[in-house]
């Protein structure tokens, strides 16, 4: 695998994946449209770090534009695709359905079709724990039925898995879908609770504690996720069609999460208790038996250690944190 196309490299997980592949001496073609779902300054800052490596090519393009996607395959002939670009976020999908169709469905079809035409060796893509939707059996296993998505975001991620199945069935193309579970860490996503809660605590603003604090999340540290994706890119012995959970296998309740964040930051949270949010799962909890046997996946960072790294990064990067906050206040999104 010499040239790898990674989509979403200005985003959180794509940035880490590109960094890690470049660190292994590989050439990375990074694609992102630097959209304004959250502060583009954070995206540009990640991209600037990647650009320092001469084996990184940064392409500003929208994957929903077929012409751009065709040009990228023609210009760079990648042997592997690691497709991480998407419109993320469950709550935003309630108000902005078309963005999800465009980036997550149309964009996905553009990429997988070009990957097929150009005989890419392996097509790895990001799915999500959200496909488990209203399921109540825990932990979530890849064998569970997943036909009750409770948000449009989840429905688009599930549709990616079904489209990938068709491509494997029709063309024997190797497609590997990775269901990520609440990924967090330095350079993370400002729309997620670990960032937005810490930021509110820093500003003395209240935080909304949905479902009265009873939700549970299987927080998974970014370095652990990167190890899982790296393995999916190169390991032997995978089937042509795979769906694999990448989670921490240790769900944590929201109130415990807040108290660890308070402890590590030395700040107090002003909590406003609220009913469940539409689209939110009550609990996420990954079975990682399959990841462990097929990818040798062993998450090793507990929530306290991982959050400590995030809190340190947040304190060490006030310019980025301020830019993200100003952007959020000016747009009121997400």
Ligand X SMILES: NC(=O)c1ccc[n+]([C@@H]2O[C@H](COP(=O)([O-])OP(=O)(O)OC[C@H]3O[C@@H](n4cnc5c(N)ncnc54)[C@H](O)[C@@H]3O)[C@@H](O)[C@H]2O)c1
| 156 close to 149: Cβ distance less than 8 angstroms | no
Which positions from 52 through 71 interact with ligand X, judged by CB under 6 A? 62-64
Q: 209 or 286: whose CB is closer to ligand X?
A: 286
Question: Should residue 47 be labelled a site residue for ligand X when binding is judged by CB under 6 A?
Answer: no
User: Interface with ligand X by CB under 6 A: which range of 32-40, 110-118, 164-172, 250-258?
Assistant: 32-40
Only segment of 8-16, 112-120, 131-139, 279-287 that touches ligand X (CB under 6 A): 8-16
When asked if residue 87 is in the footprint of ligand X (CB under 6 A), the reply is yes
Helix (H, G, I), strand (E, B), or coil: what is residue 72?
helix
Determine, following the binding rule CB under 6 A, whether residue 215 of this chain makes contact with ligand X.
Answer: no
CA atoms of 56 and 26, how far apart (whole Å): 9
Q: Where on the phi/psi map is residue 152: left (φ > 0), alpha (ψ -120 to 50), or beta?
A: alpha
183: contact with ligand X by CB under 6 A = yes
Find residue 221's DSSP bridge partners: 184
At its nearest, how many Å lie between ligand X and the CB of residue 290?
A: 17
Interface with ligand X includes 193 (CB under 6 A)?
no
DSSP 286: B
- Active-site residues, by number, are 153
C-beta of 243: minimal distance to ligand X in Å?
A: 13
Provide DSSP, 110-157: HHHHHHHHTT-SEEEEEEEGGGGTT--SSSB-TTS-----SSHHHHHH
Residue nearest to ligand X (CB): 11
Residues 27/3, Cβ–Cβ less than 8 Å: yes
Binding positions for ligand X, rule: CB under 6 A: 8, 10-14, 31-35, 43, 62-64, 84-88, 103, 107, 126, 128, 180, 182-183, 189
């Amino acid at each position: 695998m010499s040239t790898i196309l990674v989509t979403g490299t200005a985003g959180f997980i794509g940035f880490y994946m590109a960094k890690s592949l470049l660190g292994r001496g590989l050439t990375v073609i990074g694609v992102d449209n630097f959209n304004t779902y959250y502060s583009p300054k954070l995206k540009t800052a990640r991209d600037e770090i990647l650009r320092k490596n001469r084996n990184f090519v940064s392409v500003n393009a929208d994957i929903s534009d077929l012409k751009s996607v065709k040009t990228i395959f023609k210009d760079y002939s990648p042997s592997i695709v690691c497709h991480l670009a998407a419109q993320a976020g469950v709550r935003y999908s309630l108000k902005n359905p078309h963005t999800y169709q465009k980036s997550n469905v149309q964009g996905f079809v553009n990429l997988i079709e070009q990957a097929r035409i150009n005989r890419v060796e392996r097509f790895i893509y990001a799915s999500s724990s959200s496909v488990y939707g209203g399921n109540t059996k825990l932990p979530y296993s890849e064998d569970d039925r997943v036909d009750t998505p409770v948000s449009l975001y989840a429905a688009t991620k599930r549709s990616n898995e079904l489209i990938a199945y068709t491509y494997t069935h029709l063309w024997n193309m190797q497609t590997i879908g990775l269901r990520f579970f609440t990924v967090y860490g330095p350079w993370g996503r400002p729309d997620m609770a670990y960032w937005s809660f810490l930021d509110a605590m820093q500003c003395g603003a209240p935080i909304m504690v949905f479902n009265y604090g009873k939700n549970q999340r299987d927080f998974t540290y970014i370095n652990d996720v990167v190890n899982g994706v790296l393995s999916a890119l190169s390991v032997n012995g995978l089937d042509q069609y795979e769906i694999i959970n990448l989670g921490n296998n240790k769900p944590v309740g929201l109130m415990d999460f807040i108290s660890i964040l308070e402890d590590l930051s030395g700040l107090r949270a002003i909590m406003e208790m609220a009913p469940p949010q539409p689209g939110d799962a009550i609990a996420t909890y990954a079975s990682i038996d399959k990841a462990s046997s097929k990818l040798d996946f062993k998450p090793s960072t507990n929530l306290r250690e991982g959050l400590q790294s995030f809190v340190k990064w947040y304190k060490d990067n006030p310019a980025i944190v301020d830019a993200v906050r100003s952007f959020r206040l000016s747009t009121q999104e997400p």
